C-alpha cells in the first residue's frame, strides 16, 4: 500500500467549499458593520455641524450654513466633518430649525429627506442673479422662472419624474392614492429680502408627466418645522403665484393639520 501524501482532490474541494461558506457568512457581516459605523459617524458629523452653526450664528447673524459645512477658513472645526461613505452635506436654516442632509445617507423613504432635498434644489437659485442661474444650469435657464427651473430640475436632479411621497406615511395618515413631491418658486416676489419665502414644496397626484393640475397641492411641506400638512375633507390649495407666507396663511385659514 502506497502512503498517502498531501490532499486528495475531494479533500481540497471540501476545504474550498468550507472557506466559501465562511466567506459568505463573514463578508456581508463585515460590510454591514462597516456601513453601520459609517452611518453613525455621518450622523454625528451632522450634529456637530448643527451645533457649530448654532454657536457661531450668535456672533454672526447672517452666517450661512454652507460656510459651516465647508468649514470656511478652518474657522469652525479643527478637521472638516466629512461623510466616510463619500456623501456631501447640504442644508438650510429657517429660524431656529436647521435641516442638514447627507447626499449619501439620505433616506429614500423619509418624507422629510425628500422634501428637504426638493426645497434645496429650488432654493439654491433664489439668491442668484440671472447670470448666476444661467451659469449654474449650463444656460438651460436664463432667470428665476418656475416653469424652466422645474423642467431643469426634473431632468438634472430627478429621473424625469418627481419623487413619490412615501406610502408608509400616507397609510399611517389614512390618505389614499399616489402623490409626488415637487418644488414651486414664486418668482414674482423673488426680489424680496428673504428668498426662502418664495419656495414651496408640495405634493399632488401628478408625477410631472401630465400638464394638468400642476399647481394643485394636496400636501404641503412646512420648511420651518420640517412637517408635512394636509387639509381636511380633501381641501386643496393652489400654489400658483403665491409666496410661502401666503400659502402658510391659507393652510392656517383652512385648518390644515400636520401629518402624523
- What is the binding site for Zn ion (CB under 5 A)? 42, 83, 87, 102, 104-105
Q: Return the SS3 of 232.
A: helix
Q: Which three cell numbers stand for residue 215?
A: 399647481
Angle at which helices 146-156 and 111-126 pack, to 10 degrees? 130
| Length in residues, the chain | 260
> Are the beta carbons of 100 and 120 closer than 8 angstroms?
no
Q: Which residues contact 144 (CB under 8 A, 6 or more apart)?
A: 125, 126, 128, 130, 133, 185, 187, 190
Cα 145 from Cα 134, distance rounded (Å): 11
Report in angstroms how near the CB of residue 141 gets to Zn ion at its nearest.
29
Report in angstroms how near the CB of residue 74 gets to Zn ion at its nearest.
21
Task: Select 51 or 161, whichever has its Cβ closest to Zn ion.
Answer: 51
Task: Select 92 or 229, whichever has its Cβ closest to Zn ion.
Answer: 92
Report in angstroms how near the CB of residue 92 gets to Zn ion at its nearest.
17
Report in angstroms how near the CB of residue 85 gets to Zn ion at its nearest.
5
Task: Select 104 or 215, whichever has its Cβ closest to Zn ion.
Answer: 104
Task: Select 107 or 178, whichever has its Cβ closest to Zn ion.
Answer: 107
Amino acid at each position: 500500500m502506497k502512503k498517502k501524501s498531501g490532499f486528495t482532490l475531494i479533500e481540497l474541494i471540501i476545504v474550498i467549499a468550507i472557506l466559501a461558506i465562511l466567506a459568505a457568512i463573514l463578508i456581508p457581516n463585515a460590510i454591514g458593520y462597516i456601513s453601520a459605523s459609517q452611518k453613525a459617524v455621518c450622523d454625528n458629523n451632522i450634529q456637530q455641524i448643527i451645533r457649530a452653526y448654532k454657536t457661531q450664528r450668535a456672533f454672526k447673524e447672517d452666517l450661512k450654513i454652507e460656510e459651516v459645512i465647508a468649514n470656511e477658513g478652518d474657522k469652525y472645526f479643527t478637521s472638516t466633518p466629512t461623510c466616510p461613505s463619500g456623501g456631501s452635506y447640504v442644508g438650510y436654516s429657517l429660524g431656529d430649525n436647521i435641516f442638514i442632509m447627507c447626499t449619501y445617507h439620505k433616506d429614500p423613504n423619509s418624507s422629510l429627506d425628500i422634501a428637504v432635498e426638493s426645497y434645496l434644489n429650488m432654493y439654491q437659485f433664489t439668491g442668484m442673479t440671472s447670470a448666476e442661474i444661467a451659469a449654474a444650469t449650463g444656460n438651460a435657464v436664463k432667470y428665476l422662472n418656475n416653469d424652466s427651473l422645474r423642467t431643469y430640475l426634473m431632468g438634472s436632479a430627478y429621473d424625469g419624474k418627481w419623487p413619490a411621497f412615501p406610502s408608509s406615511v400616507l397609510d399611517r395618515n389614512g390618505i389614499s392614492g399616489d402623490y409626488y413631491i415637487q418644488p414651486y418658486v414664486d418668482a414674482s416676489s423673488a426680489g424680496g429680502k428673504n428668498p426662502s419665502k418664495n419656495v414651496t414644496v408640495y405634493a399632488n397626484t401628478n408625477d410631472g408627466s401630465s400638464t394638468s393640475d400642476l399647481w394643485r397641492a394636496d400636501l404641503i411641506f412646512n420648511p420651518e418645522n420640517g412637517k408635512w400638512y394636509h387639509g381636511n375633507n380633501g381641501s386643496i390649495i393652489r400654489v400658483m403665484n403665491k409666496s410661502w407666507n401666503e400659502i402658510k396663511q391659507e393652510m392656517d385659514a383652512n385648518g390644515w393639520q400636520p401629518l402624523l
